[in-house]
Structure 1
Amino acid sequence: MSDSSANPPAVPPQAPQQRGGCLTALMAIAGIFMLLPGLCALLFGGMSVVEDGKIPSDIASLVFLGLVIGIGGVAMIWAAIKGRKAPAHPPNQP
């Protein structure tokens, strides 16, 4: 008969897969392109505030959308740079 209390064979933990340099570069380039709508939103939103004293409702949604896309670009660049660091390996345990 088999003993159900026996421990299964130990599986060594695997190191997390690292991203390649090409994917990191593509993420950074896409993030830079995503910064452009955010820059335009700041530019046109700032121009409309200076002229009228407030952002007109017809472009407010576009300004908000541009800012959200720009924030996404910053997040993508941050993830590309942070993700390239090598993970710290724990010391070997006897």
Structure 2
Amino acid sequence: MSDTPPPVLPAVPTPGEARSGCLTAFMVISGVILLLPGVCALLFGGMSVFEDGRIAADIAPLVFFGLVVGIGGVALIWAAIKGRKAPVHPGTQP
């Protein structure tokens, strides 16, 4: 028997840790598309407020729905950018 230690194998990334760049790009593009209804909701809701001084009852649900979809787009972009982790190589410190 020799005194050499066994070889160190590289760390295998878990499925939740590694994400492809294509998926990240798809998430960002989808998030930008989802921002468009939010921008329209802000535009039409703002125009309605400046015209009448209050949001008209017939447009209020659409403005709310557009804002919720826009917030979903922001959350999707945030998850795409913050969720991507750089791989950790053995022997390096994070």
Same fold (TM over 0.5): yes
Q: Distance between the aligned counterparts of 1:42 and 1:78, measured in 2?
A: 20
Structure 1 outlier segments of 4+, above 3 Å: none
CA-to-aligned-CA distance 1:12-55 (integer Å, 9 cap, x gap): x9632211010000000000000000000000000000000000
Q: Distance between the aligned counterparts of 2:24 and 2:44, measured in 1?
A: 31
TM-score, normalisation: structure 1: 0.75
In the alignment, structure 2 segments of 5+ residues that lack a partner are 1-10
Hey, which of these two has a bigger chunk of helix by percent? 1
2:14 equivalent in structure 1: 16
Aligned length: 79
Instruction: Quote the RMSD (CA, aligned, Å).
Output: 2.0
1:54 equivalent in structure 2: 54
TM-score, normalisation: structure 2: 0.75
